Structure 1
């Protein structure tokens, strides 16, 4: 039965369910005229799910994973699951704790990312999980490496296992700072053979462990001089009188006839130097317009400066470096150099090409002495590995400079200065010699001068390079009075050729 309320209003209880908050509010309103909201029960008002874990920090060592987090609101416990992959069926480590940190010990690295972990907060039957996070173990410091083999163009290394490393990196450098060109290789095992090195150079090596994207500290550095394999190379030096520098208005008619323009002489010069079968050719008085490379098919043009050029056979050698050297800026004397590597044996050596002060006399000898000293000093500075050096060029000096009757106070400056450094004329070490009695400067005179005076020379260290043969190629004809140069001359100099074996004991 409905009740009659003030104002003539009625209330029928059958139309309302007393179990709902709304119904209770409406009943209060009907009875009092005031809408009252009763406080909700605690179970209805408070969120049932715990908050997710936040402020997660992870730290690894070579075998441990420590995780810290902030206590999540409304959570009773936090469960930590560690897997090797997010989709793995089971956790390799799992723990539920009331604490806010945990450490997993005795872990081992895996390929790629080591571990994935997730934290889940619990409150009764309710839970809230974080996303999977990555963790990689740290890698121990690299171990000492040792050389187990190597000669010519390779070195083989071995090292010990590094803790928590799944692979390794080895670095080689020709300097202890590992700057410039660095050879680096990755390996799964505990050893590596590094190829493509330069025989005769000293290499510094170090190893470090790698675990996925994590790399350990480099281990101790070892230092090894790579033994070179003897390498045969034939070197020629040739003053071309290119661009007709030796021809002038003061030259006699006979000289201009015997030593014609470069256009005429160029193929002759190419033929005579090729007859010596050289692998390396160093030329003087060969400015860019001389273009002597057209006479040397199969050769690469190396270092050039101030009409001095180095050429080397492309199939035999690569150039690892090179450039020009200033010997005397006041008189305009320069040299060039190239660091060459034998493609087959890996043996590295240096070739230089100099053209020193011309003319006789003590004052000029003093200039040549200083120029030779600067040449040696500068090449030594760019040769920290003490590689063998072949010194070619037109030195404008020989034993006749020391003839006191003609040149008081004169001396053979280049030979003297070279001797102080254990460097000698290759002719003196040659197993055989051809045309050694001829002067290398023919002066365009058909009848050969046979004093054995050579302003053009190839110098080598007294040890470390073997001189198998020495020769001075030239074109001759037989006359009633004997052998004469054929004319026209390729140049007013003859080439000098030395067949060498570099890097001998």
Structure 2
């Protein structure tokens, strides 16, 4: 009996000493862990949310609101699932929705931070291009689902990898200026909502047709490096064609008298500095004394470069893609200097050099723009004189004829000094066989030749008209006044 009493007292004492250890305390729920691996996907009208439910949690509630500070949910659900889709949602400017998930266990819960969710923007609409006068394109398009603004991309490349212009608009029209007449442009539109950009819409193509551009092109071999003056030159030649320092102002005055817009010059090295004689001109492409100069008030250079025509002979050509500022018409200007001297073997070499030039310019000219081919070709009709040069032929002329390109002197009746040879050889009495080693070639279609002229300084001598000395160069400059169409 006494033993039982002592045992009862011990149990009571333990309960007093450890009051926290009770059956009800052991059953109280713990705060649940937060929902993890939350990820959301959207389309243009719905939000789908997935998650991993914490261990011991059976119910998760989801709240979708328009702002983290919103006092109520625009959509909410309490579910035992791990995925839920909210449908028939509407986009707004900026962030469309915020959402968070709350894990529940008993009367306790834990909640995730707010996360952003943006509905997708629908596929870009089709666009309608139209041309306007003055190298201007006008675009209009329809609506894209959920878009609050639009991006228009325009490029001369179908792949949109080069020359891309991206224009943002809140409306559904765009007017683009500064385009290049003769080029085709590709365009596409997509919708934008804040940071969300929709997929691009269909691609359209339109060619910009502008008013014809009038240009005056001169080609001039300057002997600016004094290469025409050699140890084999006769004393009379050295007197008539003195050093470049003497001839440079004479050559400049003669070139300016032609009033050209573009001057392509051969034997015009950096050291020769012929640009100092051409006020208002910029030098474009340059390589190995082949220089292109253009009047900067008239033209913008869109591109330019040089190419090798013959490694062994160190023969090169330069080119520029120019845009006429008045009309927007774009065209190529080419400057070549081929192998000199006559004979069948050299004609074949010039044929190879001209063929390479044509192929490489054509590879550049993906839009089929007009090309003006100027330079010292070191070839003319006398090469085909079989009595003097068996097997010889005018190689550049033949190569160009195959692509419907002709010598500009043949395309107009308005000609000056066409009977004179373009290479004067430093001889005072003009040679009158009309053999032009220098030439300006133009396509039969797309370019009209208004006039052609050969410039020189003359005086009246005992035998009639003769060249004045000293000569500016052993070549005379040629000038062709052209009308270039954009197609």
| TM-score, structure 2 as length reference | 0.89
Alignment partners' CA distance in 2, 1:418 and 1:486: 35
Which residue does 2:13 correspond to in 1?
Answer: 28
Q: How does 1:67-466 map to 2 (within 5 A)?
A: 67-71=49-53, 78-97=60-79, 99-121=81-103, 128-150=110-132, 153-430=135-412, 432-466=414-448
Q: Deviations over 1:343-364 (max 9, x none)?
A: 3433211111111222223332
Alignment partners' CA distance in 1, 2:459 and 2:291: 31
Which residue does 1:59 correspond to in 2?
Answer: 41
Q: Does the 8 Å CA contact 1:152/1:198 hold for their aligned counterparts?
A: no
Q: Does the 8 Å CA contact 2:281/2:294 hold for their aligned counterparts?
A: yes
Which residue does 2:467 correspond to in 1?
Answer: 485
Question: By how many angstroms is 1:261 displaced?
Answer: 0.3
Question: By how many angstroms is 1:237 displaced?
Answer: 0.2
The alignment partner of 2:396 has SS state of: helix
The alignment partner of 1:245 has SS state of: coil
Alignment partners' CA distance in 1, 2:119 and 2:215: 53
Question: By how many angstroms is 1:466 displaced?
Answer: 1.4
Q: Deviations over 1:216-267 (max 9, x none)?
A: 2223333333324322211110000112110112211111111100000001
Distance change (3 Å), C-alpha of 1:453 and 1:68? same
Alignment partners' CA distance in 1, 2:465 and 2:211: 42
Q: Does the 8 Å CA contact 2:307/2:317 hold for their aligned counterparts?
A: yes
Q: Does the 8 Å CA contact 1:25/1:37 hold for their aligned counterparts?
A: no
Alignment partners' CA distance in 1, 2:36 and 2:346: 85
Q: Deviations over 1:49-101 (max 9, x none)?
A: 66544442222111101223344678786543323333345443344455544
Alignment partners' CA distance in 2, 1:30 and 1:220: 81
Question: Which sections of structure 2, spanning at least 5 residues, go unmatched?
Answer: none
Question: By how many angstroms is 1:425 displaced?
Answer: 0.9
Question: By how many angstroms is 1:173 displaced?
Answer: 2.7
Alignment partners' CA distance in 2, 1:30 and 1:397: 122
| TM-score, structure 1 as length reference | 0.86
Alignment partners' CA distance in 1, 2:389 and 2:54: 101
CA RMSD of aligned residues (A): 2.8
Alignment partners' CA distance in 2, 1:447 and 1:38: 128
Q: Does the 8 Å CA contact 1:78/1:97 hold for their aligned counterparts?
A: yes
Distance change (3 Å), C-alpha of 1:488 and 1:59? same
Alignment partners' CA distance in 2, 1:225 and 1:30: 96
Alignment partners' CA distance in 1, 2:69 and 2:459: 90
Alignment partners' CA distance in 2, 1:38 and 1:323: 90
Question: By how many angstroms is 1:135 displaced?
Answer: 0.2
Alignment partners' CA distance in 2, 1:51 and 1:459: 82
Alignment partners' CA distance in 1, 2:163 and 2:251: 39
Question: By how many angstroms is 1:479 displaced?
Answer: 3.6
Q: Deviations over 1:196-217 (max 9, x none)?
A: 3322222232222223222222
Distance change (3 Å), C-alpha of 1:38 and 1:383? closer
Which residue does 1:471 correspond to in 2?
Answer: 453
Alignment partners' CA distance in 2, 1:397 and 1:38: 113
Q: Does the 8 Å CA contact 1:151/1:199 hold for their aligned counterparts?
A: no
Deviating beyond 6 angstroms after TM superposition, the runs of 4 or more aligned structure 1 residues are 24-27, 73-76
The alignment partner of 1:369 has SS state of: helix
Max Rg structure: 1
Question: Which sections of structure 1, spanning at least 5 residues, go unmatched?
Answer: 7-23
